[in-house]
Structure 1
Amino acid sequence: MIQIREACEYDAKRFAKMQLQIDGETDYMLYGAGEREITTKDARKRIEFFADLPYSLILVAEDMETDELIGFLIADGNPPNRMQHSVYIAVGVVKSHWGQGVATRLFTHMETWAKARGVVRRIELGVLCENKAALHLYQNLGYEIEGTHRDSFMIGTDYYDTYWMSKLI
Structure 2
Amino acid sequence: MRKREKVELMIREAIPADAKDILAFSRKTGAETPFLAYGPEGLELSEAFEEMYLEDLMGNRNNVMLIATINNKELIGLASVGASDKPKLEHIGEVGITVEKEYWGFGIGTVLMEEIETWAIETGIIRRLELTVHGGNERAIHLYEKMGYQKEAVMPRAMKVNDAFVDGVLMSLMID
Q: Normalization by structure 2: what TM-score?
A: 0.91
Q: Contact 2:68–2:77 (CA<8 Å) still a contact in 1?
A: yes
Q: Distance in 2 between matches of 1:126 and 1:92?
A: 13
Once the 2 structures are TM-superposed, how far is the Cα of residue 69 of structure 1 from its aligned partner?
0.6
Q: Partner letter of residue 13 of structure 1?
A: K
Q: Partner letter of residue 156 of structure 2?
A: R
> In the TM superposition, what whole-angstrom CA distance separates every residue of 1:74-112 from its partner, at most 9, and x where no partner exists?
100111111111100111011111111111111111111
Q: Counterparts in 2 of 1:53-68, with a 5 A limit?
A: 53-64=60-71, 67-68=73-74
Q: Distance in 2 between matches of 1:100 and 1:39?
A: 31
Map of 1:92 onto structure 2: 98
Map of 2:130 onto structure 1: 124
Q: How many residues align?
A: 168
Q: Which of 12, 19, 23 is the matching residue for 1:5? A: 12
Map of 1:27 onto structure 2: 34
Q: Distance in 1 between matches of 2:118 and 2:144?
A: 16
Q: Partner letter of residue 28 of structure 1?
A: F
Q: Partner letter of residue 110 of structure 1?
A: I
Once the 2 structures are TM-superposed, how far is the Cα of residue 13 of structure 1 from its aligned partner?
1.3
Specify every segment of 5 or more residues in structure 1 that has no aligned partner in the other structure, as ranges: none
Map of 1:142 onto structure 2: 148
Q: Contact 1:20–1:38 (CA<8 Å) still a contact in 2?
A: no
Q: Distance in 1 between matches of 2:89 and 2:165?
A: 30
Once the 2 structures are TM-superposed, how far is the Cα of residue 36 of structure 1 from its aligned partner?
5.0
Q: Distance in 1 between matches of 2:115 and 2:157?
A: 32
Q: What is the alpha-carbon root mean square deviation over aligned residues?
A: 1.3
> In the TM superposition, what whole-angstrom CA distance separates every residue of 1:11-43 from its partner, at most 9, and x where no partner exists?
111111111111111000001123653332232
Q: Normalization by structure 1: what TM-score?
A: 0.94
Q: Contact 2:26–2:42 (CA<8 Å) still a contact in 1?
A: no
Once the 2 structures are TM-superposed, how far is the Cα of residue 166 of structure 1 from its aligned partner?
0.1
Q: Which of 91, 96, 115 is the matching residue for 2:121? A: 115
Specify every segment of 5 or more residues in structure 2 that has no aligned partner in the other structure, as ranges: 1-7
Map of 2:48 onto structure 1: 41
Q: Distance in 1 between matches of 2:120 and 2:101?
A: 27
Map of 2:3 onto structure 1: none
Q: Contact 2:23–2:42 (CA<8 Å) still a contact in 1?
A: no
After superposing on structure 2, the runs of 4+ consecutive aligned residues of structure 1 that deviate more than 3 Å are none
